[in-house]
Amino acid sequence: MRLFNCSNCRNMVFFDNTQCLSCHSLLGFRPSDNGFIAIDSSNAALIDGVPQQGFIRLCANARHDACNWLVEDGEEFCLACRHNLVIPDLSSNDNLENWRKIENAKHVLFYSLQRFGLPLVTRTEATPDGLAFEFLEDDSARTGGQPVMTGHDSGLITLNIAEGSDAEREARRVALGEPFRTLIGHFRHEVGHYYWNVLVRDGNQLAQCRAIFGNDEEDYGEALQRHYANGPVPGWEGSFISAYAASHPWEDFAETWAHYIHIVDALETAYAFGLRTRPIIDEQNLTVKVDFDPYKVDGVRALIDAWVPLTVAVNSINRSMGQPDLYPFVLSAPVLVKLQYIHDLIHGATHKASF
C-alpha cells in the first residue's frame, strides 16, 4: 500500500483516513487516479486550496463509516461496494463493527485489483458469474441450520461476519492449526478462486496451470475431507506455500495467488517508506533497498530478492515485541515457480496500465 497526500494541503494521509488531520477537510479516495481528494462543505473537490467545478460524492456506505471511496458515475455505491449482494443486519452493534473491519480489508483488496488492472465485473443477469460478496451472520446455533462457511462459488464470495471479530478469528486460527488468519488473507485467497475461473478456465490456460499446480479435476470434496481427516500430506513444506495449499490444486492456486498479492502490496508499503535493510553483521544476502514499484516489476525474482531479507528483519522486530512472525512461511523453489506463474497470469491479463 502506498502513501497518499491530501489534495488540499498535501499533508500525508493513509488509506483508511476520512479526514485530513492538517486542514481538516473531508477526504475521499478516487479510484480513477489512485489518490485522495479533499471535499469542502459544498461537496466540491479542493485542489491546493481552490474549490473545483462540479459535485463529488462519497459512496453510500460512508454513512455507516464503512467506506471512504468516491463514486465517479451515477451509481449509489463505489467500485468496491457495488459488488456487495448481502450485508448483515446493521442494527446490531457487533455486526456493524465487524462489517466495518471486513469492508476495510475488502477495499485493500480492491486497491490491489485496480493497481494490477484486473477485470472487475459485477454480478447481474447478464453476468451471473460476476464477482459478488455476501457477508452473513451465522445463526446456526439458534436455528439448528447450516453454519455460514467462508468460501467461493462461481464468483460469489461468502464470509461469516464473525470473522470481523479478532477474538473469533483467532479462536478459529488456533482450532484449525493455522499460522496466519487475517481478513485481507481471506479476501485475497477467495478472489484467487474467482480469477482462476476468469483467467485460467475461461482464459485458455488450463493446460499451463495444470502443469504447475496439478490436475484440478481431482474430486474437490473428497480432497478436502481427506485433508481435514488426515492432515496435510507429509513433506508438504517442500512444494507448497501452506498446508492447506496441499489439499487440492484449486487451493494451491488460491493460496499462491493470495501470497503473491501479500508480497506485492507489502513491498509497496516498504517502497513508500523507503525501507532498506543493512545488517550490522555483514550478511550480503540480507541487505536490500526497496527502490522499485512492485506492481510493475517484470518478474518474481526482484520481488523475492527484496521480500526475503525484509521479512527476516520484520519477523525479528515482531519477536522483539513478543509477537508472532509477520510472515511465517517458507518460499521453496517449487513455490517460486508457482508465484512466477501467478505473476505472468496477472500481468498478461491486465486490461489497462496500473497506476
**Alpha-carbon 330 to chain mean position:** 20
What span, in angstroms and rounded, lies between the C-alpha atoms of 186 and 152? 11
Asked if 56 and 44 count as a contact pair (C-beta separation under 8 A), the reply is yes
Instruction: Give bridge partners of residue 134 from the DSSP assignment.
Output: 86, 158
| 233 and 341 assigned to the same domain | yes
| 72 and 158 assigned to the same domain | no
| 54 and 97 assigned to the same domain | no
Q: What is the pTM of this model?
A: 0.93
Residue 205 domain-assigned (yes or no) = no
| 88 and 189 assigned to the same domain | yes
Asked if 28 and 70 count as a contact pair (C-beta separation under 8 A), the reply is yes
Rg of the chain over Cα atoms, rounded to whole angstroms, equals: 21
Residue 117 domain-assigned (yes or no) = yes
| 160 and 285 assigned to the same domain | no
- Which structural domain range is residue 290 located in? 213-349
pLDDT at 354 > cutoff 50: no
| 73 and 93 assigned to the same domain | no
Give the pLDDT confidence score for residue 353 in this predicted structure. Answer: 39
| 303 and 243 assigned to the same domain | yes
Residue 98 domain-assigned (yes or no) = yes
For range 20-38, the mean pLDDT:
94
Residue 200 domain-assigned (yes or no) = no
Average pLDDT, the chain: 92
| 26 and 69 assigned to the same domain | yes
| 264 and 320 assigned to the same domain | yes
**Local confidence band at 24 (pLDDT 50, 70, 90 cut-offs):** very high
At residue 164, what is the residue type?
G
Q: How far is CA 276 from CA 269, 300, 309, 329, in A?
A: 12, 19, 9, 21
| 65 and 86 assigned to the same domain | no
| 276 and 329 assigned to the same domain | yes
Domain boundary among 21, 45, 78: 78
Residue 201 domain-assigned (yes or no) = no
What domain count does the chain have? 3
At residue 280, what is the residue type?
I
Exposure string for 149-170, b = 16+ CB within 10 A, e = fewer: ebebeebbbbbbbbbbbeeebe
Domain boundary among 44, 78, 112: 78
* Lowest pLDDT segment from 3-12, 115-124, 173-182, 320-329: 173-182
Give the pLDDT confidence score for residue 177 in this predicted structure. Answer: 84
pLDDT at 282 > cutoff 80: no
Residue 354 domain-assigned (yes or no) = no
**Local confidence band at 352 (pLDDT 50, 70, 90 cut-offs):** very low
| 61 and 182 assigned to the same domain | no
Domain boundary among 33, 53, 78: 78
